Chains A and B, each alone.
Chain A
């Protein structure tokens, strides 16, 4: 597995995570409004599979959960900053826009991109997660078993 310099930076990890889950429309709207500088490809978008691994209960043995479709790309802005994107799905456009955002977040434009794109996206993703939790919560079924009663 390749490791990139800067990937250990926790802030960058966080925004890369946010960008990877962003809807294409949001990224496209930001891109149109922000008109970022020209850039050139280091690696054009390419789609492949990544194995998602998990641990039962978060503590058990590692197992292969399944494969997911992933698109990645890397580019460099004229000003020198490089951006990468690893996004779920096959949208090359989305990977491109996410990589541009990543590069800009490392530049002097960082503050502006943070406010225009990442903060609203973070909110959006949080709402989405809460909505999903609420929906799941509504259909929750309590099983009162002997074992559980005994444990309480």
Chain B
């Protein structure tokens, strides 16, 4: 007897009937996706405000009484961790992973819907625990987003009392939530695809989310191990990471612990984390570019292999974040080499995106603008990554603003460009309404140009030698007067970019309420999620029958066809050759 998941059992048994079942304790992947997305965006806005506080201090030092050295480091730490984990990871995988996988694979729901629901609620608990740290004595941790010991748990560091404990606890809870969600995403891709949907017919969005989830499932345990051990160091005085210290004339009780061990564990998670965010972005942007350029993706097979290769290689580059820790030069050589090797499949993807656009019927609309903008920001961030991947270049630049510029271009702006492109692209599917195009374009240009105005000058500041992590620079002769002027300009640009996000929010709320009703397939897309019986799919997605897939996801502008796209579930015409 075949196993039948809840989503495929008799509908009258599991269709949600009450408001609570539909929108609160929902097991529907689409509702869970929206729940994940809403919380992630909410917490991301908090992190955005924190970054503005940081920029205000750097641009206009000591003008704001509520920004002290103590709070400044708390803002830095919370901004970084929230953006990387609680916004980007949660939104790409919990949000888009949940929404797209069943729809794009032709499934009714995730394979384990109850666990999927639990995943969201546990994620919400992790967010609440994290935000609670703003209200405990000492406030949130200010040890930097990498939480390096011994500083993070040593007296004198902001939040060393409760903040760090809540941060570590929150991360552990997040990992539990991610594991529950991740098991669903991977199993659903492997086991719940509709008839005809072979792996090589899957859209690249699903490929990116699929491989990123595998990375997460294997890499997050490293962070969990580090978090558990650090909690014990902080609470019962173990010395896993804590060496002997002399503090205020007294020798600590700790001895023999290895801060470098923490760094290894952290970055064994931390570098795959870059690709946990990047791979879904790579996949989604491939689909956006192909759809809006009305052209099949260039080198589909190579794109799939590149995603897999990047995923595998991401586990052997972690120590390039630790060149300044005093590692053996041979290790440095090894990790520099692997870092350069991972650039090869990444570059293949960039070439393929550009070649997809080449001679395409490029539609200039908001989703495509963000997708094309991503190519610029990613190439920029990627190239500066090659600089930092080399030990001899990294050593002088490691503690400067060059790293901030690089990191934010490649890991901040680029994925966020894809997120916005994806939100505008799937907005009609999620809400049944079209987003406002004028507001969308204003949002794009302010964000795209604004972020360049923020991060491009940071590279210059880094080469000047401006150190990062400083609360204030004072009257030092180290810096030229232009450095302060540049910092002021960057802060103004940051305010402009933040304002642009208000426009985005206005667009979302305005369009949901008063936007034009969306046509069934507004972008003329081939993928299955646009082929549901209703524009906003009901519970179960497909009505009485699951779709059947007859072709790959990129039949755009096929010669001899009337329309410039052929949906994946459209059978071959009579007389057409059938292969496979």
The answer to whether A and B assemble together is no
Where the two chains meet, the residues of B that have a C-beta atom closer than 8 Å to any C-beta of A are none
